[in-house]
Structure 1
Amino acid sequence: MNQGKYIFAQLTDFLPRRVFNGIVGEHNGNRHVRIFTCWNQMLCMVFGQLTSSNLMRDLLLSLEAH
């Protein structure tokens, strides 16, 4: 059984969210966004890189499995 954080959660702790939000604010990245923010998109792309997903379908299937 898992007693601590998942590896993905441990990796995302190293990402500077305040700096990322500052860059998104500079470029108005979340201007017309309702649900899927730039931060969520970046996390999905990092997860896709970690799981070596070649297709968006592979990424969606792995996310739906959890």
Structure 2
Amino acid sequence: LYHNRWSVELFFKWIKQHLRIKKFWGTSENAVRIQIYCAIITYCLVAVVQHDMKLERSIYEVLQILGISLTDKTHLRDLFDKSNFKNVNILCDSSEPNLFNF
């Protein structure tokens, strides 16, 4: 029983570190599962894009760039070739609209 509990703890630690889930919305088991599945699918898709495009950025940086440019209709190849995307921290201070600002 302890081994199973430890596996669950490690799984949620990995989720918090890599999927950036701050809190779970909804109280039902199904709501939590859907949120975890969506985060895992997003993480995997970004990892595939990073691998296929041979980007020399971390998955976290790729997620930040994609999150900031969600409303932009720029092709992915052009998005990551722009010279102003060298430092992702500068993008976070951008005045462009961002869907994740609350």
Please report the TM-score for the alignment, with normalisation by the length of structure 2.
Answer: 0.28
Higher helix share: 2
Structure number with larger C-alpha Rg:
2
Higher relative contact order (CA 8 A, sep 6+): 1
Please report the TM-score for the alignment, with normalisation by the length of structure 1.
Answer: 0.38
